[in-house]
Structure 1
Amino acid sequence: MALPKIELDGLLAFPLTPFTEDLELNLDAFAENVESHVAAGAGALFVACGTGEFSALAAGEHAAILARAREVTAGRVPVWVGAGGGAATARAGIAAAQEGGADGVLLLPPYLVSGPPAGLVDHVRFAIGESTIPVIVYHRSPGVFTPASAATLLDIPSVVGLKDGFGDIELMTRIVTTIRSIDSDRAREFLFFNGLPTAEVSAKAYASIGVARYSSAVHCFAPEIAHRFHRALAEGDVAVMDALLAGFYLPLVALRDETPGFAVSLVKSAARLRGDKVGSVRPPLVEPTPEQIDRLGQIVEQGFTVLKSIEAV
């Protein structure tokens, strides 16, 4: 099986999953959310993934989210969808993604259990099964690959890339170098992604090892800032990156780190502050306190002030 070459260039967006007041899926608000990402210039959408509260969604909700995303985008940008969990659940998710017409799948790590490197590769093989849809494997606990096992993923035709959410840049350097040193088109075209929370903070370091692609949660509530940083990274404009990091991203990360799960909760809160109808988070995630939301608003406002000063130069 020969898959078409996957590009996935530009800034990758991970839409939020809106809920009603009683935490039911709000597909109309989701459609608005998707359209706003496309209008802002997202290079691709990854729906029902980490920022979209993948673990809190039922299979039917995943299918409904994918269907609505495809309806709204109408082919304007690629739509990828999350799958994962236990082996059988992951396999069913990938099959459903292919049946639902997704452009690809982000395969999240196994649920609850871990295994040796060979077992992780077998998990990917089992999850893909007979499906032919392109798959990006999410490299993060408990699904952490060695350089050798990551290279073995090249033997699985549907696997087109690896997204790092583990955060060990030395390990990722060895993985990238191991795969790129293989003399084949497959190895040369294999994609790597920085999938750490608030990826802009680590983007310069990852770009230096050949991992320039990343997903931006900030695109959910401040796409103007997200795209300006992305452009600065592509141009090697350190001054602009450092200004946005110091004035916006680092304060945001400091607030994010105060409470587990804020990598999603704060994003939803910031989107609500900008008027988006995204609702609350499903448990076990929790909402920020009023005092934290107040600080969040100040951080976002400061981010736009920094952006304005950059554009005025």
Structure 2
Amino acid sequence: MTNKRQSPTGILGFPVAPLTDKGKLDLNGLEANIDFLLDQGLTSIFVACGAGELHAINTAEYHAMVELAVEKTKGKVPLYTGVGGNITAALEQAKISEELGADGYLILPPYLIDPSQEGLYNYLSEIISSTDLNAIVYNRDNCIMTADTLGRLCELPQLVGFKDGVGNMETVAEFTHLFGDRLEWINGMPLAEVTMGAYLNLGFNTYSSAISNYIPHISKQYFEALKNGDKKVEKEIYGDVILPIHSIRKQKKGYAVSLIKAGMNIIGLPVTTNVRAPIAPVEEAHYAQLKVIIEKALEKYPAKVTTKN
């Protein structure tokens, strides 16, 4: 094994797939997105995953996104890619990730098929075993694992993490009890800050943060309040920022992706609000609502400015 068998921890950064006004992949926008996340102290970068519209990019675009991310993150933070969909594509993405020098990948659900547990094990184990890179499985949609399936996957040394996007507290409590520190436990619910308090009590010390693409310092401040038991700060940020954004996100399917781009656009990052079908762009009214929330949040919770000598 050539890789350190350890999953990234803390707040994980998930860049988007920026698109031009004509719908073409904008690598300059992606570079700015990654630079912003690194400057703000995110502990890792996960490129071409759900937020990066893995479902809608072609192989050439995937290669370009991973190549750029490897260049930007090398020696700074771990880089993970997204792989998934049909098994042939997933294996090709895993190979590209390995060849370009990524540290690992997050396995997204298989395409269309609602598999049996045996079929799910075969899908995940084949991808995990196809390279020596670290792998994280994503429990969501048509990739919901039982304890037996996860236990079998834990026999593979490449598996380092379990990301949950279902929110079944009974199940995740069982998993953390059974497998303990064998895996890193990652909260992957849409707008993970909403549920992180509950997950933290179950042994989840890591989460993927959508809002870190535009207000990372607030996500970090909220997480620190949770860990330190600062109920006052936790409650204020939850009420001022997290729940209001979450209420917009729930207005339309796909906002888990398109609302991120809207937030980035609002703070001035060079990212348009364009997304690829079947995701729909944020409606003007919701964009305006998000803008008000962000402006008020930045006024009450300003980012610290560091001076370089």
Letter in 2 for 1:192: W
CA-based RMSD: 1.6
Residue 8 of structure 1 corresponds to: 8
3-state SS, counterpart of residue 161 of structure 1: strand
Mapped to 1, the partners of 2:226 and 2:64 lie a distance apart of: 35
Q: How much does 1:102 deviate? A: 0.5
Give TM-score, length-normalised by structure 1.
0.92
Moved more, 26-35 or 2-11: 2-11
Residue 41 of structure 1 corresponds to: 41
3-state SS, counterpart of residue 11 of structure 1: strand
Question: Would you say 1:245 and 2:242 are equivalent positions?
Answer: no
Mapped to 2, the partners of 1:71 and 1:237 lie a distance apart of: 38
Query: Structure 2: which 5+ residue stretches go unaligned?
Result: 303-309
Residue 132 of structure 2 corresponds to: 132
Residue 153 of structure 1 corresponds to: 153
After superposition, give the CA deviation of every residue in 1:176-199 in whole Å (9 maximum; x if it has no partner). 11212xxxxxxx341110000100
Residue 117 of structure 2 corresponds to: 117
Residue 293 of structure 2 corresponds to: 299
Which runs of structure 1 show a deviation greater than 3 angstroms over 4 or more consecutive aligned residues? none
Letter in 1 for 2:266: L
Mapped to 1, the partners of 2:103 and 2:2 lie a distance apart of: 15
Letter in 2 for 1:303: A
Residue 164 of structure 1 corresponds to: 164
Mapped to 2, the partners of 1:282 and 1:262 lie a distance apart of: 12
Residue 262 of structure 1 corresponds to: 255
Residue 225 of structure 1 corresponds to: 218
Query: Structure 1: which 5+ residue stretches go unaligned?
Result: 181-187, 309-313
* Change in 2 beyond 3 A, CA 1:167/1:106: same
Residue 282 of structure 1 corresponds to: 276
Letter in 2 for 1:298: V
Residue 179 of structure 1 corresponds to: 179
Q: How much does 1:88 deviate? A: 1.5
Residue 92 of structure 1 corresponds to: 92
Residue 265 of structure 2 corresponds to: 272
Mapped to 1, the partners of 2:245 and 2:90 lie a distance apart of: 33
Residue 187 of structure 2 corresponds to: 194
Give TM-score, length-normalised by structure 2.
0.93
Residue 74 of structure 1 corresponds to: 74
Mapped to 2, the partners of 1:23 and 1:222 lie a distance apart of: 25
Mapped to 1, the partners of 2:129 and 2:136 lie a distance apart of: 15
Mapped to 1, the partners of 2:49 and 2:57 lie a distance apart of: 10
3-state SS, counterpart of residue 84 of structure 1: strand
